[in-house]
Amino acid sequence: MPSLDGPHPVSSKLQVRLPIRIAKQLRIQGGDQFYWRVSDDEPDILQLLPAEVVERRYNAGERMEAAEREVAQELRVDDAQTHRPRGE
């Protein structure tokens, strides 16, 4: 398990401070954007995900779904051509 850094308080505006050491280690800079999520596996764990990672995974999923639709369409066309009545 990675070493812990903290505890760090949550401000009255519900903001948290990112330790400089961790920001440098992860190359996080001011203006970077993140998504928060609660872990599916451990509901007591809060995850911080870089927006570029989320967008890359989302786009990869969209590309995979488009490819699956294209293959399904090709299979339907091939199946329709294979099962034509004789004499056509």
Whether the link from the prior residue into 19 is cis, omega within 30° of 0, is no
- Residue 18 neighbours by CB distance under 10 Å: 14
Summarize pLDDT for 19-30 with one digit per residue, the tens.
999 899 989 999
> What residue ranges do the domains of the chain occupy?
20-82
8 Å CB contact between 16 and 10: yes
Q: Tens digit of pLDDT for each residue in 6-59?
A: 899 999 999 999 999 989 998 999 999 999 999 889 989 998 889 888 887 777
